[in-house]
Structure 1
Amino acid sequence: MTMAFVFSVLLLGLCGHIASGGQSTSTSTPGALNYELPTSEYETPDTFNAGIVGPLYGMVHIFLNVVQPNDFPLEMVRKIIQKNFDFSVDSKEPESIVLALKIAYYEIGVLICAALGLLVIILMPLVGCFFCMCRCCNKCGGEMHQRQKQNESCRRRCLAVSLLVICLLMSLGVMYGFVANHQVRTWIKRTQKLADSNYRDLQVLLNETPKQIDYILVQYNTTKDKAFSDLDGIDSLLGGRIKDQLKPKAIPVLDSIKTMATAIKQTRDALQSMSSSLKSINDGSTQLSANLTSVRNSVETSLNSSDCAADPARRICDSIRSGLSNLGSNHDSTQLPSVDGELNTINDIYKTDLESLITKGYTSIDEIPAKVGSQTLAVIADVKKALDSISSNITSVSQSIPIKEVLFDVSNYINDSNSYLQQELPKLEEYDSYWWLGGLIACFLLTLIVTFFFLGLLCGVYGYDKRATPTRRGCVSNTGGIFLMAGVGFSFLFCWILMILVVVTFVIGANVEKLLCEPYANKKLLQVLDTPYLLKEDWQFFLSGLILKNSNINLTFEQVYRDCKGGRGVYATFHLDNVFNITENFNIEKHTGKIKKELENLNVNIDNIELLDKTGKKNLEDFAHSGIDAINYSMYLKEAEKSPTKMDLLAFASSLEEKANQLPDGKLKQALNTDVQNIRTIHHQQVIPLQQSLNTLKQSVWTLERTSEKLPEKVNKIIVSLESAQNFLINNVSSIVIEETMKYGGTIIGYFERYLKWVSYAITEKMTSCKPLATAMDSAVNGVLCGYGADPLNLFWFGIGKATVLLLPAIIIAVKLAKYYRRMDSEDVYDDVETVPMKNLENGSNGYHKDHLYGVHNPVMTSPSRY
C-alpha cells in the first residue's frame, strides 16, 4: 500500500506539470479523417480474484458482518483524524468520552469476541490445573471405577457420535488454517509479481506519453495533407458541386433540344426518302402502265387471229380474253403531290447546325470546374501558407509543455522506488517465514489433538467388546481411552496458547477488513479523505492544494479514483486546466481565423452561361412552322397500301401459260408463250422495285407523321423550358456559387476544427489515462493488503479459532467417553433378574463377590494411569 501511494503521489506530480497520455483511445472524425491514439496495453488486472479460496473468504466476511454489523463510522473516523489520532479518554473532556463510547459501540462485537477469547485464555490453564489435581484425588472421573447405568450403550454411542462430529468440524477448521497459512506463505511472491506488473504499467504510461504527443502533432500533417488535397482539387470539389447544382436545370433542357435536333435530321432524311420514293413511284407507275398496255394489246391481237376461230381454240381464247381487262397499273401518279417544298424548308433549317449550338450549351456547363480552378489559384496558394503557419503554431504550443524534463525526473524516481521495493521484499520474506512457521506449528498442534481424538474413537469403537466387563476390556479399547485422555491433556496444555494467537489475529484482521478493506471497496474511505480541512487544516481540498496549489478547487479522492478507474485522462481528472489551459492554447477560432480570412477571398465568376443562342431558338421555331404537320399523310399511306398492279401478274402469267399449252402448236401458242415471258419480266423488273418504293414511302410517312405530331406544341414547350432554365442561371448562379463556396470553405475549416476539437478532447479526456494509478491503488489495498494479507489472516483465525473453541466440548465428551473404553480397576455388577448392586470389595466382604456371578476368579487389578 505504501509503495502504491508513492507511485500515486509521483504521478500526481507529473499531472501537475503536463497533460500527457496513458491508455489509448480512438476517436472517429466525421468525413475521411480518423484519429486514433496509439494503443497501450496494461497487464495488471482491474480486479483481483481469490480463486478457489474465494468462497472461504466470503464465509469469513459473512461471519464478520454478523459480529460487526455496524456501518463504517465516517464521522467518528473524521473526528479521530482531526484529533491527530488521539485515542486517550480524558474524563474532563465530555467530547472525548462520547468519542470513546462511540468507538466502543462500533467495536462491541469485536470486543465481546475478544473478551470471550481472553476468558478462555485465562480460564483454560486454571481449569486444566484444577482438573489435573481433581483427577489425582480420584475425583472428576479420576477413579478407575465405572458405575453401571441404564441405557449405557445409547449414551456411549451418542458420546462417540458427538465427538466424531466435533472432530470433523475441528478438522475442517484446521484445514482452513492450513489453506490460510499457505496463502500467507505465497503473499510475498504474489506481491512481488503484482509490484512488477504495476511498475511495468507505469513505465508503459511514461513511455507512451511522448508517442501520443508526437502522434497528435503528426495528425496535424495528416489533416493538412487532406486539406491540401481538397484545395488542389477545388475544380472537381467546388466546381463540381456548382456544376451539380446547375445540371438538374440545364441538362434536361439541352437534352430536349438535342432530341429536337435529332428529329430535324430525321425529318430531313424522311422527306428526302419520301421525295425520292414519290419520284420512283411516278416513273415506275408510268412505265409499268405502258408496258402492261403493250402486253395486253399483243395478247388481244393474238386472240383476234384466225387460230381462235374454231373450237377448241375458240373456247380457250374466250377464257383468256375475259381476264385481259385487269391487266394494267393500279396507281395514278397524279394523285400523290410532291413534298419538295417542305424538303427545301427543312434543308434550310438543317443548315443552321443546331447540334453544334447545343454542344456549346453542354460545354458551358462542363467548363465550370475548369473556370473555378483557374480563378482560385492565387487564393489557394494563400490558404496553404496560412495552414503552414498554423502547423508551426501548434508545434510551438506542444513544445512549450515541459514534458521531457518532468518525464526524466519521474522515470528516475520510479526506478529508485522499484529498486527500493526489490531490496525490501526479500527481508519481508524472511519475517513472513517466521509467521508461516508459527502458523504451521499451531495447525500441527490442533492436528495432533484431533488425531488423538480420532485414534481414540477408532480404537475405542473397533476395540470395544459388549461381552467384556469394564475390568476385562481389551488392549485396543483401553488404548482408545488413553488416546482420548491424551487429547484432553494436550488440549488443556495448548488451547490457551492457540486462543492467544486467535484473539490477536482476530482483532487485527477484523479491524483491517472493516476499517480499511470494506470502506475502500464502497468508497467510504475516500469520502473520509475528501472531508474539507481534514488532512491539512488550512486546505479545503487536500488534492487540489497538493497538485494545483489551490485548495479551493473541488478535487476529491473519490472523483479522481472514479475517473481514473474509468480510464479518463489526467487533464480532466485532476482539473489541470487551472495549470495549463488547453482551450486557450488550442483555440479553434484563433487558428482557423486565418483560414477563414483567406477563404473569404474566393471569388468565382461563372456568369454568362447561355444554353442556346437566338439562332438556335429561331431554328426551333422555323422547324415548328415548316409545314410538315400539314401534310396529308393518310393519303400517302392509303396510296402506299395499294398493290402496284390490279392483278397478280405471276398468277395471270401462269394461267395464261397453262391455257396456251392447251392450244395446238402454231403461231398462236407461240405468241401467247412470248407474252407470258414478257409479263413475268415486267413483274421482276418493274413491279417489285415499285413495291419497294411504296414500302419506303410508307416508312418515311410513318416517321414524318410521328415527328410532326403536335410539333408546334413540343417546340413551344422546349422553348419555354429553355427560357426558364436560362432565367434560373441568370438569377441564381451567383447565389449558388456563394453557397457552394461557403460549404467548400466550411469543409476545409471543418478538418481543422475537428482536429483541434479532437486534440482538446484527447488531451483532456483520454490522453495519459490515469488508470494505472487506480490499478496501483487497487493492487495495494484490494490486492496486497486485503487479498494477500487480511483475507488469509481472517481465514486463519477463523479456522484455528473454530477448532480451538470446539476443543471445549470435545474435552468434556472425551473425558466421559474414555470411561467406556478404558480398562477399570473395579466395576458394578447387576443380577440378571433383580437389579441388586454389588459393591466390589477388594477385601471380599459386604455382599456377593462378583466372581459368584461370572463364575471366575477376578483378582484385584492395579489401576492404570488416570491421565
Structure 2
Amino acid sequence: LISIDAGNNINIVENPDFTAITKYYASLVAIVVFLLLCVVLFPLCGLCFCCCRCCGNCGAKALPSDKRRDTSKKVIQAILLIMCTTGLLFCIVCAFASNQQLEDGVQEFPTNLNYSVRDTETFMDTTNAHLRHLLTNNYQEFSTALNNVLQNGTEIAMNQLFEFAGAANLTKLFDFSENLGNVNNTLYELKSDTNRLRVYASQLNDALRKVKRDLTKTLNDCSYLPECSDFKKKIDLLQTNIDFSQVPDVSSTIASLGSLNIANIQNDVDAGQKSLNNIRVSLSDALNKGLNEAKTQLANGQTIITENLDSVTGSVNDVKKQIDSSASNAIKSSQQFIDNNGKYRFYFGVTISCALLSIVVFIFFGLICGVCGKRPDGYSDNCCNKGTGSNFLCW
C-alpha cells in the first residue's frame, strides 16, 4: 500500500498487488477465515442436530429408566456445562467490549494518524534544529576556542624557546657591550679628574705652608704675649702635608679596556642580536603561517559542514513535505471510507456478538430447565421440564 523509492520518497500505491498482500498476510487470513467458518457452521450444525432430534433420531427416543450412575454423570455434565457457559458469557462480554474498542479505534484512526504525522514532523524539525546547533553553533565555538589556544600557544612556545636558548643572557650581553664604550669614556674622565685633583692638592699644600709660615712669623713677633705663645703652639701642631696617594690610578684599567677591542665586541654582539631577532621573526612567521593554515582549514570545514547540513536538512524537509501530502490524502480517504463503511463493520460485530449471546441464552435456559425441571411423563407434563431444557440445548 505504501512504497519508498531510492530517494527515500514515500508514495501511496494506487493499484496495489493484492496477491502479494494476500501471501504476506496468508496466515492471518487463514485464522480469520477459520473463525468465520466456525461462527457460521456451529449454528448450522446445531440446527441440523435439533431437526434430527425433532424427527426422533440422534438418540431422541425416550429411555424407560435411568441406567446406573446416570445421576452422577448428569451432575458432572451439568457442572461442566455451567463452567463452559460461564466462560462463553465472559467471551461474549469480551466480544462486545472488543467490538466497541475496535469501533473507537477505527473512528479515531484518522485523528491518531494525523497526530502521528504531526509528531513525525515535529521530530524532524527538532532533529534539524539539533543538527544545526551541534554542527554549526558548537563548531563555531570550537573554532574560536581552538584559535585562541593556538594563538596563546604560539606566544608561549616562542617565549619558552627563547628562554631555553638563553635569549635573556644574550640581551644582557648586548646591553653590556653597549655600555663598554661609556665605561671607557668614564674612565678617561676619571683619570683627568684625578690628575687635576693632584695639581689642585699640590697648590693647596703650598698655600697652606705659606699661610702657616706667615702666621708663625707674626706670632713670633708677639711671643711675649701669653695668648700668642699658646696659639703658636697650636699652629705648630697643625699638619699641612696633604696625602693624595690614596686616589686610584685608572691608567692600567684604561689600558686593559683598550686591549679588548671594544668595537669588535660590539659588532659581534650586534650580529648575535640581529641573528636572534631574525630567528624570532622566522619562528613567528612560520608559526603564524601554520596558524593561518589551521584557521583556513577550520573555515573550510565549517563551509563543508554547512553545505552538508543544508543538504541533510533539505532532504529531511522534502521527506516531511512528502509525508504531509501523502498522509493528508490517506487521512482524507480513510476518513471518507470510515464514514461510509465503518458502521457496517460495527453492525457486523454486534450481530456476531448477539448471535453468540443468543447461544448462551439457549444454553442458560436449557440448564435452568434441565436442573430445576421434572422428567416429562404422560400424565403430568409442563413447559419447563427436562425435555424443554434438552430442546433448548439442542437448539
Q: Same fold (TM over 0.5)?
A: no
TM (normalized to structure 2)?
0.44
Higher helix share: 2
